[in-house]
Chains A and B, each alone.
Chain A
Amino acid sequence: EVQLLDSGGGLVQPGGSLRLSCAASGFTFSSYPMTWVRQAPGKGLEWVSAITSGGTATSYADSVKGRFTISRDNSKNTLYLQMNSLRAEDTAIYYCAKATGGDPRVYDYWGQGTLVTVSS
């Protein structure tokens, strides 16, 4: 059974940093691109970042480019999102998601999400 366990969220002050993790199991993690999607409280979904299966290529939404870094450790079956220079508008639930086998930009399994709150 595919499982994605998001963790690392919490309360952080504006300008601070946080690292999110997503522990994967139930599939060959190293074979699939992964992504992060976020959802501000009571709002819709926003794609944040994606990484290829081998970790050699990454992409970011303009709203986080230069502040967030996506990475993965295929030996640990874990996806990361390093978030720096956090702003109030980064407050959201962050979901990691696994790409399908057919298209790397379609996501068939999602974590339960981890809440990031940026506030003083």
Chain B
Amino acid sequence: EIVLTQSPGTLSLSPGERATLSCRASQSVSSSYLAWYQQKPGQAPRLLIYAASSRATGIPDRFSGSGSGTDFTLTISRLEAEDFAVYYCQEYVSSARTFGQGTKLQIK
């Protein structure tokens, strides 16, 4: 089973700043089968990025994904008020389709 470890657990930033979220896999995620989801309190998750770096439909271009192998990054170039939420990475190369434990992005 692939274990995804997200860091940091909590990230405190101000609107307008750049956010860098990390997702590290215990083994290589082949073909970059990795997605990022955003979840706000009381809401369902929302797809942001798939295939490590492809933005989902309707996602602003301030969100970008990168990485390959075991190290992946979600970058939010300039934080807006609505971006403060919990972010999860997920691998979909294995049968377990594991999620990371999440990074909470909060307002500083």
What is the interface of chain A, defined by CB distance below 8 A to chain B? 37, 44-47, 50, 59, 61-62, 95, 97, 100, 102-103, 105-108, 110-113
Contact = CB atoms under 8 A, between A and B. Distances in A.
Which label, helix, strand, loop or mixed, suits the secondary structure of the B interface? loop
B72 interface: no
B63 interface: no
B96 to A, nearest CB: 7
Interface in B23-69: 33, 35, 37, 39, 44-47, 50-51, 56-57
Contact of A113 (B33, B44, B47, B102): B44
B57 to A, nearest CB: 7
Contacts of A46: 99
Q: Which 10 A-B residue pairs are closest in the complex by CB-CB distance?
A: A110-B44, A105-B92, A47-B97, A45-B99, A106-B50, A108-B47, A44-B102, A44-B101, A106-B35, A95-B44
A45 B96 contact: no
Contacts of A62: 96
Interface string B72-87: 0000000000000000
Given A111-B44, A113-B44, A106 B92 contact: yes
A113 B33 CA distance: 25
Contacts of A107: 45, 47
A105 B96 CA distance: 11
B90 interface: yes
B96 A108 contact: no
B46 A110 contact: yes
A49 B76 CA distance: 31
B57 A108 contact: yes
Given A103-B51, A108-B57, A113-B44, A44 B92 contact: no
Given A44-B88, A45-B45, A103-B51, A108 B100 contact: no
A46 B102 CA distance: 12
A44 B44 contact: no
Q: B33, B35, B101, B102: which has the most chain A beta carbons within 10 Å? A: B35
Q: A59, A97, A108: which has the most chain B beta carbons within 10 Å? A: A108
Given A44-B99, A45-B39, A95-B44, 18 more contacts: A44-B88, A44-B100, A44-B101, A44-B102, A45-B99, A45-B102, A46-B99, A47-B99, A61-B96, A100-B50, A100-B56, A105-B92, A105-B97, A107-B45, A107-B47, A108-B57, A110-B45, A110-B46
